[in-house]
């Protein structure tokens, strides 16, 4: 049997008429009849009761109909997947990332994707997390690496690559320099150097302050972690960074974990569900690069 015979079988079953089925599949009625008879010979059973004016399925035909429909649906799915893969070999993939991103595995994933699909033009741009998320929802980018507070947006597919707390960074001799940990209240008795609104770290900081009814004095806003560290080192305020970003500067700054901020600062990769095979493949390459286990089925 072949898919053409199954298509004709389903058409006759659904139309309950050979003439209408022939019109539906755009061949002659005799052609449909011949193919159905060939299918019945191969199966060794009649699929239709032709003894009345209305064409009806036999018991064997009723048993076969569901499987025939499933086979046709599977064949269509194969065609769609192949078509998507073919389109993946060309076109454009928009990728967004937070300002000052220096995440080596993310760059490794981009390089791996480019090597596998050199026909796809990868357009990478930096931006604030909130802007990139809006662009992702609107189709301006296809995948982005952003900061989030507490949890990724539920309307988007996501992969969390970092989840950690906040750390204060101060120069030697500062009042907080002798502490391994500190509190948000102690940090905010001083001017603060932090990232601007729209970033994941700033969202964590602002939410934590709001929960404690604390009004922080923001001395300087800087989009790059290195700039925050440099400004804190020069005494412009207490720098507020995530744990891993602060650790980069521990040779010249003192680090004190802000232990009472329990909202996690996340770094996550986001893409639209059903947003295309290219974005999904890049996400999987990110999963491999960051050595993140696939979610359970």
User: 175: number of CA atoms within 13 Å, CB side?
Assistant: 9
| Token pair listed for 210 | 């709001």
Using CA atoms, how far apart are residues 152 and 159, in angstroms rounded to an integer?
Answer: 8
Q: What is the mean pLDDT of the chain?
A: 90
- How far apart (Å, rounded) are the C-alpha atoms in residues 30 and 269? 57
Helices (H), the chain: 3-15, 18-25, 29-43, 59-88, 104-116, 129-138, 184-187, 200-211, 225-233, 243-247, 277-289
Residue 289 has what pLDDT? 94
pLDDT of amino acid 92: 87
pLDDT of the residue at 215 = 95
Overall residue count recorded for the chain in this entry: 297
Alpha-carbon distance of 258 to 212, in angstroms, equals: 14
What pLDDT is attached to residue 256?
Answer: 97
pLDDT over 70 percentage in the chain: 95
pLDDT of residue 297: 47
Question: What confidence score (pLDDT) does residue 52 get?
Answer: 74
- β-pairing, 192-194 vs 238-242, is parallel
User: 66 pLDDT band (50/70/90 cuts)?
Assistant: confident
Q: Is the pLDDT of residue 296 over 80?
A: no
Q: What is the pLDDT of residues 260-273, one digit of tens each?
A: 999 999 999 999 99
Q: Report the candidate in 95, 185, 175, 195 with the shortest Cα–Cα distance to residue 136.
A: 95
Query: Can you tell me the mean pLDDT for 208-237?
Result: 95
Query: What pLDDT, on the 0 to 100 scale, is given for residue 103?
Result: 86
The CA distance from 133 to 144, in Å, is 8
pLDDT band at 191, cuts 50/70/90?
very high
- 155-175 core/surface letters (b: 16 or more CB in 10 A; e: else): ebbbbbbbebbbbbbbbeebe
In 131-227, the DSSP E strands lie at 143-149, 157-164, 166-170, 181-182, 192-194, 218-221
**pLDDT tens-digit series, residues 92-119:** 899 999 987 778 999 999 999 999 988 8
Highest-confidence range of 25-39, 55-69, 233-247, by mean pLDDT?
A: 233-247
In whole angstroms, what is the distance from residue 191 CA to residue 232 CA? 10
106-163 confidence digits (pLDDT tens): 999 999 999 998 888 999 999 999 999 999 999 999 999 999 998 999 999 999 999 9
Convert the pLDDT of each residue in 285-295 to its tens digit.
999 999 987 66
| Whether residue 243 has pLDDT greater than 60 | yes
User: pLDDT confidence of 239, banded at 50, 70, 90?
Assistant: very high
Whether 214 and 262 have beta carbons less than 8 Å apart is answered as no
Query: What pLDDT shows up at residue 71?
Result: 86
């Amino acid at each position: 049997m072949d898919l053409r015979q199954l298509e004709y079988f389903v058409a006759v079953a659904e139309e309950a008429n050979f003439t209408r089925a022939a019109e539906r599949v755009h061949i002659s009625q005799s052609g449909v009849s011949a193919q159905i008879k060939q299918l019945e010979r191969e199966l060794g059973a009649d699929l239709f009761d032709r003894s009345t004016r209305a064409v009806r399925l036999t018991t064997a035909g009723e048993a076969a109909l569901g499987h025939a429909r499933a086979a046709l649906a599977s064949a269509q799915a194969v065609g769609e997947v192949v078509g998507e893969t073919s389109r993946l070999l060309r076109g454009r993939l928009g990728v967004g990332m937070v300002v000052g991103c220096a995440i080596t595995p993310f760059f490794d994933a981009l390089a791996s994707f480019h090597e596998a699909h050199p026909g796809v033009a990868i357009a990478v741009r930096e931006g604030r997390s909130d802007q990139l998320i809006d662009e992702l929802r609107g189709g301006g980018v296809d995948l982005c690496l952003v900061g989030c507070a507490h949890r990724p947006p539920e309307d988007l597919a996501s992969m969390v690559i970092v989840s950690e707390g906040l750390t204060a960074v101060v120069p030697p001799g500062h009042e907080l320099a002798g502490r391994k940990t500190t509190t948000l209240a102690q940090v905010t008795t001083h001017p603060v150097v932090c990232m601007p609104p729209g970033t994941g770290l700033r969202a964590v900081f602002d939410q934590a302050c709001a929960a404690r009814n604390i009004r922080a004095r923001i001395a300087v806003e800087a989009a790059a972690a290195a700039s925050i560290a440099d400004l804190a080192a020069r005494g412009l305020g207490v720098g507020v960074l995530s744990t891993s970003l602060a650790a980069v500067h521990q040779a010249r700054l003192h680090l004190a974990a802000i232990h009472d901020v329990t909202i996690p600062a996340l770094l996550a990769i986001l893409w639209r569900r059903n947003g295309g095979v290219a974005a999904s493949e890049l996400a999987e390459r990110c999963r491999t690069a960051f050595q993140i286990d696939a979610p359970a089925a």
